[in-house]
Homo-oligomer: A and B are copies of this chain.
């Protein structure tokens, strides 16, 4: 007899975890909708040619691939083919393209946009909440199958999208009870300006990948690495004077402009961020939005604003990232389509809320009412009463078997319902209901309508 288990790096979600996950997803979805983002979905399986070469060498290695017998056979000698037939019997689909499981939602979205370009009205705001797969080494908090939660707007350069996304961050974190979250903002032009201004003569990418290590190796570590590349130590210190995180305000942008000696490349970034601030107006945000010039997040990808959200003191790294990219769809043949988007990592958010015990009370409770009974007749009465309660908008379960009432209450406690209705001879003859609050241990007898009002509350 096989001992059942799920594959390493994957998870089963029971009812309580599902309630908590749905609470996070529903909160994010409601905010996305408020800003006019509409849902799309793409298949879990993509053609391998759609996925390969989009995630760098490391990413390619983490793709889950599926091939057909027929393809394999075409690539091998006839002797090898015989061996393969024995090796791979069964269901490799004949004649199908090479397939892979979706690695993220961004590349499938780019494919979607190009493939359906004639049916899409640009600018197109979509959100997409689906699972992705990575054949990574599983470890704490890193899974092989996990959920991404993306919103992107594609087909417009307007910086009002960046302002919308900042407000979305604010509403999501406030909605989830995490108003202490910090949104770090950077701009690619700042990174280019740093290289320009500091007269560093190596690629921006190399520079920023060092800068990206700030959290891990500290200021000293970064300076050590940069001086090893031949950058003057004085310049490095000058750099840190600039990247000291500051709140994103008009005043601080002026300080930055000065620190950059009014460098014209930096000025592009400052103009963009000033515009975002104009759109935000005096709309008060709860979360702190700060400029962080060390933020790079895959620079080759982003071309304008770059976002990363953290929850301080949570022990977790980034819980969301995003930014503007100018050529998402180019690889599929649609050039010059600017987009900007963000993605929430709901597993980390889940862990933070769980650790801080910030779940709303009702997530711990099964929202149904349990109907208990004493004998065959009251069981039948309870089943029909349950129908009536459901018609009146309540969730109801009837304890299905003829067992002692204490066993029925045990069941109620175990499945986490808050209220039980006890149906016996008295209730059947009077039509009244006996309502037991299982948390307080109190019991009261009410008319049907009184009970309905009480239970709906």
A67 contacts across to B, CB distance below 8 A: 88
A75 located at the interface, meaning its Cβ lies under 8 Å from any Cβ of chain B in the complex: yes
**Contact B60 A40, beta carbon cutoff 8 Å:** no
A116 to B11, CA, bound (A): 12
For the residues of A in contact with B, the DSSP-based class is mixed
A158 contacts across to B, CB distance below 8 A: 400-401
Quote the shortest CB–CB distance from A122 to chain B (angstroms): 9
A147 — nearest CB in chain B belongs to which residue? B41
A361 located at the interface, meaning its Cβ lies under 8 Å from any Cβ of chain B in the complex: no
**Contact B44 A4, beta carbon cutoff 8 Å:** no
A8 — nearest CB in chain B belongs to which residue? B96
Q: Which residues of chain A in 1-46 are interfacial with respect to chain B, using CB atoms and an 8 Å cutoff?
A: 1-8, 10-15, 18-19, 22, 33-36, 38-46
Quote the shortest CB–CB distance from A422 to chain B (angstroms): 17
**Contact A161 B400, beta carbon cutoff 8 Å:** yes
A163 contacts across to B, CB distance below 8 A: 383
A72 contacts across to B, CB distance below 8 A: 87
**Contact A5 B396, beta carbon cutoff 8 Å:** no
A41-B18, A145-B45, A379-B160 given; A367·B115 CB < 8 A: no
A47-B6, A160-B379 given; A36·B1 CB < 8 A: no
Quote the shortest CB–CB distance from A10 to chain B (angstroms): 3
A368 to B35, CA, bound (A): 8
Quote the shortest CB–CB distance from A319 to chain B (angstroms): 21
A380-B281, A383-B160, A401-B156 given; A395·B36 CB < 8 A: yes
Q: Which residues of chain A in 116-154 are interfacial with respect to chain B, using CB atoms and an 8 Å cutoff?
A: 116, 119-121, 123, 125-126, 131, 133, 135, 144-145, 153
A445 located at the interface, meaning its Cβ lies under 8 Å from any Cβ of chain B in the complex: no
A163-B383, A332-B4 given; A40·B11 CB < 8 A: no
**Contact B400 A156, beta carbon cutoff 8 Å:** yes
Counted per complex, copies of this chain come to 2
Quote the shortest CB–CB distance from A446 to chain B (angstroms): 21
A77 contacts across to B, CB distance below 8 A: 83
**Contact B18 A281, beta carbon cutoff 8 Å:** no
A97 contacts across to B, CB distance below 8 A: 7-8
A49 located at the interface, meaning its Cβ lies under 8 Å from any Cβ of chain B in the complex: yes
A126 to B17, CA, bound (A): 13
A1 contacts across to B, CB distance below 8 A: 332-333
* A368 CB contact (under 8 Å) in B36, B281, B414: B36
A64 located at the interface, meaning its Cβ lies under 8 Å from any Cβ of chain B in the complex: yes
**Contact B44 A114, beta carbon cutoff 8 Å:** no
A65 to B367, CA, bound (A): 39
A113 — nearest CB in chain B belongs to which residue? B4
A125 contacts across to B, CB distance below 8 A: 397
Quote the shortest CB–CB distance from A418 to chain B (angstroms): 13
**Contact B22 A39, beta carbon cutoff 8 Å:** yes
A76 to B90, CA, bound (A): 17
A93 located at the interface, meaning its Cβ lies under 8 Å from any Cβ of chain B in the complex: yes
A268 located at the interface, meaning its Cβ lies under 8 Å from any Cβ of chain B in the complex: no
A114 to B18, CA, bound (A): 19
A99 located at the interface, meaning its Cβ lies under 8 Å from any Cβ of chain B in the complex: yes
A197 to B66, CA, bound (A): 51
A80 located at the interface, meaning its Cβ lies under 8 Å from any Cβ of chain B in the complex: yes
Quote the shortest CB–CB distance from A26 to chain B (angstroms): 12
**Contact A64 B64, beta carbon cutoff 8 Å:** no
A108 to B167, CA, bound (A): 40
**Contact A396 B62, beta carbon cutoff 8 Å:** no
A6 to B10, CA, bound (A): 25
A90-B63, A91-B135, A160-B400 given; A4·B114 CB < 8 A: yes
15 contacts across the A-B interface (CB closer than 8 A): A2-B49, A4-B332, A6-B111, A12-B43, A15-B126, A19-B39, A33-B395, A35-B397, A60-B90, A61-B90, A62-B91, A63-B90, A156-B401, A160-B398, A167-B387
Which residues of A are at the interface with B, using a C-beta cutoff of 8 A? Answer: 1-8, 10-15, 18-19, 22, 33-36, 38-47, 49-50, 60-67, 72, 75-77, 80, 83, 87-88, 90-93, 96-97, 99, 101, 111-112, 114-116, 119-121, 123, 125-126, 131, 133, 135, 144-145, 153, 156-158, 160-161, 163, 167, 278-279, 281, 283, 332-333, 366-368, 379-380, 383-384, 387, 390, 394-398, 400-401, 411, 414-415
